[in-house]
């Protein structure tokens, strides 16, 4: 019987990716270190089911194959690396703080662009695929359908749009330096490594992925990117150093509410890969993780206060259009009629897409309101 350790050997994963693509050059293999940390944690800690192991092996191989395809594309089309990438904003904040709504709303502006779900999953054209990206879009639709079949309750937590704006952290997955992994798997040792890691090379590659997406779509020329992921809270200095002029748009919500909400989401995702999910362990992990992250974030903010914009969860819910207009102004763009029409169109679509309610309590994840209030007493929303 094949064991998890035998299935997730780094050398075998690299060889399989090379065999699948017919390509051999990964370029700088710095990524092998984070991949090794990740696979070790998956073997030792993740308690993968048979299905979870197979899905994980396929996922890691696909990410490695994309690295090979990226280098091949850059060699074949050197102009990809001449693309000027301008990031106007990275929307951060703890998960479940209104960041998705704000991101999708801002991305609706005709003067901004964002990573789309289908292209974060399939960023490189398939052989002989035309500019319409028909095959990649179909695969993205199929993938979203499968995800919801495996976690049907997820639609009540987060609206999935295969062709809508999506977190750029999914591009960072290909560096194996990403919050995605400890969100989908129980891998605490990987999470500890990630919080201490220098992510400079990972963010340089994020820029390269944005260059490739921009090169494929000429309509993006001249439009700055508005991106989003809670992952960026783990590397705020690196984000600001990598993307000159970028502002961090920080969404705020009481961690007493946000932490249990994200724990609920993580439990839903982790069950796809493991039959042994402990909700209390998930709650403890993310509570400690976010407390440490917010402390580090506050230190960066004190050093670079001019690079931050604050948005509060309650105001995003009560008047999202006004908040989008305000944030756009903070980015140096005065909202015009086209922006307002785009915001209204998105909000109408968002209302139509809403599913059932997302029900949970802190106690469901081994947490208590009193303990969360104590652990996050240092955090003041929007304070510099």
pLDDT (average), residues 309-322: 95
> Tokens 């509570």 label which residue?
287
Which residue is it, tokens 């879009």? 137
pLDDT at res. 359: 72
Please tell me whether residue 268 adopts helix, strand or coil conformation.
helix
User: What pLDDT digit, counting tens, does each position of 201-246 carry?
Assistant: 999 999 999 999 999 999 998 999 999 999 999 999 999 999 999 9
Computed on alpha carbons and rounded to an integer, the radius of gyration of the chain in Å comes to 20
Q: Is residue 300 part of a domain?
A: yes
The answer to whether residue 365 is domain-embedded is yes
Q: How confident is the model at residue 350 (pLDDT cuts 50, 70, 90)?
A: confident
Backbone angles phi, psi at 90, to 5 degrees: -115, 115
Q: What is the pTM of this model?
A: 0.93
Dihedral of alpha carbons 370, 268, 178, 136, sign: negative
pLDDT at 145 exceeding the cut of 90: no
Q: How far apart are CA 220 and CA 215, in angstroms?
A: 8
- Domain range for 105 is 86-375
Q: Does a structural domain hold residue 249?
A: yes
Per-residue model confidence (pLDDT) at position 156: 56
Q: Are 26 and 67 in contact (CB under 8 A)?
A: yes
Put the strands of the sheet holding 247-252 in their side by side order.
Answer: 225-228, 87-93, 247-252, 308-312
- Note whether residue 169 is domain-resident: yes
Question: Percent of the chain, pLDDT > 70?
Answer: 94
Average pLDDT, integer, range 149-154 = 68
Smallest CA-to-CA distance from 254 within 318, 320, 313, 300 is with 313
Instruction: Please report which residue ranges of 130-254 form alpha helices under DSSP H.
Output: 134-150, 169-172, 179-184, 188-196, 200-216, 236-242
pLDDT of residue 384: 38
Q: How confident is the model at residue 153 (pLDDT cuts 50, 70, 90)?
A: low
Q: Distance (Å, rounded) from C-alpha 13 to C-alpha 40?
A: 13
pLDDT at 174 over 70: yes
Among residues of the chain, what percentage have pLDDT more than 90?
82
Q: What is the pLDDT of residues 35-86, one digit of tens each?
A: 999 999 999 999 999 999 999 999 999 999 999 999 999 999 999 999 999 9
Q: Is the pLDDT of residue 266 over 80?
A: yes
Question: Does the pLDDT of residue 19 top 60, yes or no?
Answer: yes
Q: What is the structure's pLDDT at 356?
A: 53
| SS3 state at 345 | helix
Closest by CA to 177, choosing from 239, 267, 225, is: 239
Q: Which long-range contacts (CB under 8 A, 24 or more apart) does 332-340 make?
A: 332/88, 333/88, 333/109, 333/111, 333/112, 335/109, 338/109, 338/110, 338/111, 339/109, 339/110, 339/111
**274-303 pLDDT per residue, tens:** 999 999 999 999 999 999 999 999 899 999
Average pLDDT over the chain reads 92
Could you report the per-residue pLDDT of 92-120, keeping only the tens digit for each? 989 889 999 999 999 999 999 999 999 99
Residue 157: the pLDDT is: 55
Going by pLDDT thresholds of 50, 70 and 90, the confidence category of residue 316 is very high
To which residue do tokens 């990573």 refer?
115
- pLDDT of 382: 52
Is residue 293 domain-resident?
Answer: yes
The mean pLDDT value for 145-166 works out to 73
Query: What is the domain-level CATH number for residue 256?
Result: 3.40.50.300
Instruction: Please report whether residue 74 resides in a domain.
Output: no
Total of domains in the chain:
1
Find the DSSP H helices in the chain.
4-7, 10-21, 32-45, 50-76, 99-107, 117-121, 134-150, 169-172, 179-184, 188-196, 200-216, 236-242, 255-270, 279-303, 313-318, 320-330, 337-353, 369-375
- Within a domain: residue 62? no
Report the SS3 class of residue 383: coil
The reply to whether 7 falls in a domain is no
Q: Which residue has the higher pLDDT, 341 or 382?
A: 341
> Are 162 and 141 in contact, with CB atoms under 8 Å apart?
yes
């Amino acid at each position: 019987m094949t064991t998890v350790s035998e299935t997730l050997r780094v050398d075998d994963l690299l060889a399989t990716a090379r065999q699948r693509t017919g390509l051999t050059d990964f370029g700088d293999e710095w990524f092998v270190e984070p991949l090794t940390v990740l696979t070790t944690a998956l073997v030792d800690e993740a308690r993968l089911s048979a299905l979870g192991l197979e899905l994980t092996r396929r996922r890691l191989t696909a990410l490695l194959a994309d690295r090979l395809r990226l280098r091949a594309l850059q060699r074949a089309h050197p102009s990809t690396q001449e693309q000027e990438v301008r990031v106007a904003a990275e929307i951060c904040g703890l998960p479940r703080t209104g960041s998705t709504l704000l991101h999708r709303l801002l991305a609706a502006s005709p003067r901004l662009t964002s990573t789309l779900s289908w292209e974060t999953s399939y960023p490189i054209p398939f052989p002989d695929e035309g500019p319409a990206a028909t095959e990649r879009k179909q695969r993205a639709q199929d993938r979203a359908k499968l995800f919801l079949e495996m976690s049907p309750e997820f639609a009540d937590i987060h609206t999935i749009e295969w062709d809508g704006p999506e977190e750029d952290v999914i591009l960072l997955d290909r560096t194996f330096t990403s919050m995605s992994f400890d969100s989908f798997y129980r891998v605490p040792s990987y999470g500890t490594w990630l919080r201490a890691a220098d992510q400079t090379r990972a963010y340089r590659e994020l820029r390269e992925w944005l260059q490739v997406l921009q090169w494929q779509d000429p309509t993006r020329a001249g439009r700055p990117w508005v991106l989003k992921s809670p992952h960026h809270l783990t590397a705020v200095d690196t984000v600001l150093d990598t993307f000159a002029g970028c502002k961090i748009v920080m969404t705020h919500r009481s961690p007493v509410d946000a932490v249990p909400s994200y724990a609920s989401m993580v439990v839903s995702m982790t069950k796809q890969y493991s039959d042994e999910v402990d909700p209390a362990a998930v709650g403890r992990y993310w509570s400690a993780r976010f407390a440490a992250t917010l402390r580090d974030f506050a230190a960066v903010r004190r050093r670079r206060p001019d690079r931050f914009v604050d948005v509060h969860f309650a105001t995003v819910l009560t008047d999202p259009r006004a908040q989008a207009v305000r944030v756009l102004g903070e980015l140096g763009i005065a909202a015009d009629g086209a922006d307002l029409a785009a915001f209204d169109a998105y909000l109408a679509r968002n209302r139509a897409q809403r599913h059932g309610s997302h029900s949970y309590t802190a106690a469901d994840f081994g947490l208590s309101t009193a303990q969360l209030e104590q652990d996050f007493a240092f955090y003041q929303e929007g304070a510099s």
